[in-house]
């Protein structure tokens, strides 16, 4: 694991309850995954300072094989589109489709491409210019940066989507409040984060793939996500149980089996359940 200068690091109290007492769960180089002794929320401490994490997301190779274990986002396109198509179908079934969609962290636009037929206006953000260049065909407007980089006078949205985002966010409560302020009165927020108390974490422990250090700084259970939501005056109205598809060669890599060349296994996408915690939030009136 890459070493960072101590000046790039910071210690932090629990992001949920602000307590400072914690115990160690896992250690990855200079980074520790800890659990708060008061509220049991799990987070990275110490962690990179936010400005250095943002540098990761801006880098041209972020969505490629920068750490030898990511396989590149593009190579997972088919599997991710299957995952997102399933999510869109659940949104349709639960009548959660609205005219105006905002996705924070669009990456290459795979979710937007599946959503395109169902929304009249689609917007999104990402810190990577390369990602925005690839996603531009699926959106009406895209902004370089994060939630704070959306123009202030933009019309509110019917649906805001955060897929694989909240685990990166340094101030989750403040972030959710800002999302709420960009939402129409009857609008919804779709959040999908790695499920910390999943069967996969319990089996794999420190080899759990969602320990993506140093970017993933928060690890959510349903109860903790619900607590953050309530603090932001939001409530969970739906929990989606859905498969997350992975290319078979990516699964093999997680088991330490790396294929040196492309084979027919690259064309097999396997569905896994209990990977992501996916919920829909609505404003509390």
CATH code of the domain containing 62: 3.40.50.150
- The pLDDT score that the predictor gives to residue 67 is 41
Specify the pTM.
Answer: 0.94
The answer to whether 57 and 50 have CB atoms below 8 angstroms apart is no
Six-digit token pair at 66? 């920068």
Q: Is 275 helix (H, G, I), strand (E, B) or coil?
A: coil
Residue in this structure with the two tokens 């992975």, named with its chain if needed: 246
Mean pLDDT along residues 111-115:
98
| Structure confidence at residue 170 (pLDDT) | 98
pLDDT digits (tens, 9 = 90+) for 27-52: 999 999 999 999 999 999 999 999 99
Report the Cα 10 to chain-centroid distance in Å.
22
Q: Identify the H or E element spanning 144.
A: strand 141-144
Q: For residue 3, is it within any domain?
A: no
pLDDT(128) > 80: yes
How many helices (H) does the chain have, and how many strands (E)?
8, 15
pLDDT tens-digit readout, 175-198: 999 999 999 999 999 999 999 999
What is the count of structural domains for the chain?
1
Give the pLDDT score at 143: 98
Contact criterion met (CB below 8 Å) for 253 and 94? no
CA 28 to chain centre: 20
- Listed range (43-52, 203-212, 252-261) with the worst mean pLDDT: 252-261
Neighbours of 264 (CB within 10 A): 7
The torsion angles phi and psi of 167, rounded to 5 degrees, stand at -70, -15
Range of the domain at 174: 56-283
> Is there a contact between 127 and 145 (Cβ–Cβ < 8 Å)?
yes
Residue 21 lies in a domain: no
The answer to whether residue 24 sits within a structural domain is no
């Amino acid at each position: 694991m890459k070493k960072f200068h101590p000046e790039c690091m910071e210690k932090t109290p629990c992001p949920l309850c602000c307590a400072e007492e914690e115990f160690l769960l896992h250690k990855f180089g200079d980074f520790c995954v800890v659990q708060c002794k008061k509220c049991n929320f799990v987070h990275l401490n110490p962690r990179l300072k936010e400005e250095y994490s943002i540098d990761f997301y801006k880098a041209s190779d972020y969505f490629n094989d920068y750490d030898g274990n990511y396989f590149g986002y593009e190579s997972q396109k088919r599997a991710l589109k299957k995952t997102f198509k399933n999510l869109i179908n659940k949104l349709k079934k639960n009548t959660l489709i609205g005219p105006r969609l905002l996705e924070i962290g669009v990456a290459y636009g795979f979710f937007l491409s599946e959503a395109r037929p169902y929304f009249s206006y689609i917007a999104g953000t990402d810190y990577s210019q390369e990602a925005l260049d690839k996603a531009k065909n699926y959106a009406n407007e895209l902004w370089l940066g994060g939630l704070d980089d959306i123009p202030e006078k933009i019309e509110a949205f019917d649906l805001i989507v955060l897929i694989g985002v909240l685990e990166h966010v340094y101030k989750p409560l403040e972030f959710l409040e800002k999302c709420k302020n960009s939402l129409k009165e009857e609008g919804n927020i779709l959040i999908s984060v790695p499920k910390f108390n999943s069967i996969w974490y319990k089996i794999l422990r420190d080899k759990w793939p969602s320990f993506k250090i140093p970017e993933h700084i928060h690890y959510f259970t349903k109860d903790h996500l619900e607590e953050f939501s309530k603090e932001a005056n939001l409530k969970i109205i739906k929990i989606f149980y859905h498969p997350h598809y992975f290319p078979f060669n990516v699964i093999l890599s997680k088991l330490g089996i790396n294929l040196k060349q492309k084979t027919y296994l690259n064309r097999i996408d396997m569905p896994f359940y209990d990977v992501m915690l996916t919920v829909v939030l609505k404003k509390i009136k």
